[in-house]
Amino acid sequence: MDRPAWAPPGIDLSVPSVSRIYDYYLGGSHNFEVDREAARRAMEFLPGLPKIMQANRAFMRRAVRHAAGEGVTQFLDIGSGIPTFGNVHEVAQQADPEARVVYVDHDPVAVAHSKAVLEGNDRADIAAADLRKPHDILHSPEVARLLDLDRPVALLLVAVLHFLEDTDRPYEAVAELRDALAPGSLIIVTHASFDGIPVPQEQAGGTVGVYRDIRSPLVMRSREEVARFFEGCEMVEPGLVSMPHWRPDTPPEQEDPYAFSGFAGVGRKG
């Protein structure tokens, strides 16, 4: 298999990556045939997967604009993936040129490509770290350089928590991150769920099986289980809802049915 020029050395081109599959769904070009193959298998069960990812991105942009409107100028985006148009730093720095952004990902392609995209932007950087190890994130040189944790931070956990199994202690990871943030910080979450998916659960389960096969289990959590990630926070209106229903720019009824899969919400730390 030919290694593309943009692929960092040492990457195993035979193993699919969640962030590169996501890049493929969004129409990006930083993915390998093994990623495209896994994505196509997943789409056999849920052909609307790209619509779900687009709804995630649209919600993320609205939430970042909301945070900026609340005067939050610091953003920590964990599981940030491969940069595509309309990333957090673009939205945040458009709202406030002084905004500072730290991305976090453990996929080497996501890290390498983010570094290339952020070159020359001294208010944005990426840390190579894993959500399962919050201490490493909080004590990374990138966070130390760019973020003041004594002031409010918007913590983004968009389409990432559902890749943590319960044995990964996702609630403890989020609590550790939340406890490190100043009062007034915002926690911005989207999470996959069988709720709202416009096909029978058995069919959607086929997609879950594809992710299990590539050793990146996709954990579908209930509304109550997703709500637990916001413990210690007050929910921002309209609460925990489907992505198109969170402060929409356009009438939600115009959205594709797949866009209503899963949950989105923003909590404010008291």
Mean pLDDT of the region 91-117: 95
CB 111 within 8 A of CB 126: yes
Q: What is the pLDDT of residues 118-140, one digit of tens each?
A: 999 999 999 999 999 999 999 99
What residue ranges define each of the domains in the chain, with the CATH number in brackets? Answer: 51-199+222-269 (3.40.50.150)
Share of the chain above pLDDT 70, in %: 99
Indicate if the pLDDT at residue 5 is higher than 70.
Answer: yes
Q: What is the pLDDT of residues 47-92, one digit of tens each?
A: 999 999 999 999 999 999 999 999 999 999 999 999 888 899 999 9
Is the full-model pTM beyond 0.85? yes
Lowest-confidence segment of 10-19, 69-78, 156-165, 212-221 by average pLDDT: 10-19
Give the pLDDT of residue 161. Answer: 98
Give the pLDDT of residue 1. Answer: 59
Give the pLDDT of residue 268. Answer: 98
Give the pLDDT of residue 215. Answer: 93
